[in-house]
Amino acid sequence: MKDKNRTMIPQYFVTADPDTGEWLTTPEYVQEVDKAQWDALTDTHATHYDTYEVHLQRHTWLYRPRSDDLPSQTRAIEVRWETRLSVLCSLR
């Protein structure tokens, strides 16, 4: 979506293991953000700011292997580093 000269993209957050980078939770939607401002964010020891592509099929959000015939969406992702143990304890 465009807003004048800004490119707005959906932002999600996910919790990930700092040692392996494995996502421990499913990405959750937060808000729309300006891509240029998002790209300018600086990582911290607790958070990594990035983007990723989601390939779409029939207007639903499905994770698929890369295919040039499927439309895709760029998403901002805030990766929050937490150990697997702290995530499991917070789910209880």
Classify residue 4 as left (phi > 0), alpha (psi -120 to 50) or beta.
left
pLDDT at 10 over 90: yes
pLDDT at 48 over 90: yes
Helices (H), 3-83: 35-39
Per DSSP (E only), the strands in 1-92 are 2-3, 6-16, 28-34, 47-57, 60-61, 72-81
- Residue 50 tokens read as 């990035």
CA angle centred on 10, ends 62 and 73, rounded to 5°: 45
pLDDT at 80 over 70: yes
Least confident of 7-16, 39-48, 50-59: 50-59
